[in-house]
Amino acid sequence: MDIVDISQVTHHPPSLPPTPLVRIRNLHFRRGERVIFAGVDLDIQRGRITAIMGPSGTGKTTLLQLISGQLRPTAGTLLVDGQPIHGLSRQALYALRTRIGMLFQSGALLTDLTVFENVAFPIREHGRLPESVLRKLVLMKLEAVGLRGAADLMPNALSGGMARRVALARAIALDPMMILYDEPFTGQDPISLGVLVSLIRQLNDASGLTSIVVSHDVNEVFSIADDVYLLAEGRVISHGTPAQLTADPSPWVQQFVAGLPDGPVHFHYPAPPLAADFLGK
Ligand SMILES: Nc1ncnc2c1ncn2[C@@H]1O[C@H](COP(=O)(O)OP(=O)(O)OP(=O)(O)O)[C@@H](O)[C@H]1O
């Protein structure tokens, strides 16, 4: 009988730390002459909620557009699930983008379709499913945001908070691996806001999602984010857990976290000297 060396059979390679879902290195991006990013390094860890914060006009929305392949970096590396998103063929990019759900402020519902049809829309667009399967799928997504009972309503019968939740059900219709939220709390009353905050956390954890939230709302974001990146003037100026950022003594971070009007963050968009505009000098 052959003797098998058990130590050889059961040998496992040492476990490696999980790779981030999004890995950004030395990212540069400019719009015309204007430099938006001048060397950004950032990791989005799988299964976590990462907040991207920073003063208005810093490029937070632009960053989401770069991650989802809508814009191309000027230079640097941007890997999504290990793939260099800007080196992909059209077909591969399309396939990857169907795995990214987006909840953008501008992503309004289609006003002439019911709530049900709004959520069904990306599923119908993506491929053919028997109507009975589609119905179950859509109702499950609506149930996940607490609006199964609203399936037959038209968008104009919804409150602002309900409309955003329907948009969220639509964003998760294709079971994405990652969801990008751009200012999800804007214009919400306190109750809708509380509902949205806990929904984002709940959906992330229950569906094994990875979430990126762009927002100005420090309190709401700090209550759900696992990681926070603070951007300003084209760079990451701080990164850590909400508790680490709160304790960061840097005046940049403190100005932002405390919402102070005065500090190192400029209030004015870059402009020529006043005299040049008003006195022609
Ligand atoms: N389509 C565009 N064409 C030219 N410039 C643009 C365009 N979209 C945005 N910008 C500029 O790029 C910069 C970054 O914009 P972006 O919307 O990403 O900032 P943001 O941090 O998301 O701002 P906010 O918090 O105000 O939404 C801004 O200076 C903006 O004026």
Burial 245-263 (b: 16+ CB within 10 A, else e): beebeeebbebbbeeeeee
* List of domains in the chain: 18-99+176-259 (3.40.50.300), 105-175 (no CATH)
pTM: 0.86
At residue 129, the pLDDT reads 86
At residue 10, the pLDDT reads 47
Query: How far, in Å, CA of 200 to CA of 197, rounded?
Result: 5
Ligand 1 center from residue 179 Cα (angstroms): 20
Ligand 1 center from residue 58 Cα (angstroms): 7
3-state helix, strand, coil in the chain (%, to 5): 40, 20, 40
At residue 192, the pLDDT reads 84
At residue 190, the pLDDT reads 84
pLDDT digits (tens, 9 = 90+) for 96-155: 999 999 998 766 899 999 999 999 999 998 888 899 999 999 999 999 999 999 999 999
Residue type, 85: I
Ligand 1 center from residue 17 Cα (angstroms): 35
Q: In this structure, are residues 234 and 243 in contact, taking their beta carbons and an 8 Å threshold?
A: no
Ligand 1 center from residue 59 Cα (angstroms): 6
At residue 270, the pLDDT reads 58
Q: Does residue 193 line the site of ligand 1, with CB under 6 A?
A: no
Element (H, E) at 277: helix 274-278
At residue 7, the pLDDT reads 47
Q: In this structure, are residues 31 and 1 in contact, taking their beta carbons and an 8 Å threshold?
A: no
CA-to-CA separations, 50 to 11, 45, 188, 226, in angstroms, rounded: 36, 8, 21, 6
Nearest CA to ligand 1 atom 6: 31
At residue 254, the pLDDT reads 87
Q: Does residue 60 line the site of ligand 1, with CB under 6 A?
A: yes
At residue 207, the pLDDT reads 85
Please identify every stretch of the chain with a pLDDT value under 70, giving residue numbers as ranges.
Answer: 1-17, 106-107, 261-272, 279-281
- The alpha carbon of 264 is separated from its chain's Cα centroid by a whole number of angstroms, namely 27
For the sheet with 75-80, list strands across it. 34-44, 22-31, 75-80, 83-84
Query: How far, in Å, CA of 116 to CA of 135, rounded?
Result: 8
Quote ipTM for the complex.
0.95
Residue type, 138: V
